[in-house]
Structure 1
Amino acid sequence: MPRQHAATLIRKLAHRYHVVYAPRPSDVLAHHYTRLAGDDVELDEVERLLIALQRKGYLTRPAAVRLQARYLRESRLHESRL
């Protein structure tokens, strides 16, 4: 059986557990801090779902980090092929 792309796996987990990302006040503050520091970081839908899955306890922190690394690797690979 072929391995699922990380984005597909993350979306399926979020759907299975009815998880959506809802920003917390600390998320908004962190976004402003990074923006003001000149490091404007925008998380995409998949990365936000990863945060939500971890916050709800469906992923451990190490599992979320590994899955995000895999997702970013796959995203870069896909972009380099375009």
Structure 2
Amino acid sequence: MTLYEYKMLSEDKQYDTVFAKGKFLDIVIEGSSKYVLYAIDKFFVEVEWNNKTDEIVGKGEFKCGDNLDRYSNVPKEI
């Protein structure tokens, strides 16, 4: 599945695809949010959860960039 094909799905189908076909990669906790990273073929999906309510806040899709950098253990420059 390409990122374009994924984006053409309804939002419900996108979530179904992430949780059924996505490969879990990592979790990052920042404040009251938990970011869960999944890989689908050649792109990534990040699902944001509210830690207090355990509900999904949103999601984002990307192939590379700053969003992916969050999951490296390299400290950010100040």
Higher strand share: 2
TM-score (norm 2): 0.26
TM-score (norm 1): 0.26
Computing the radius of gyration from Cα coordinates, the structure with the larger value is: 1
Higher helix share: 1
Taking CA–CA contacts closer than 8 Å with sequence separation of 6 or more, which of the two structures ends up with the larger relative contact order? 1
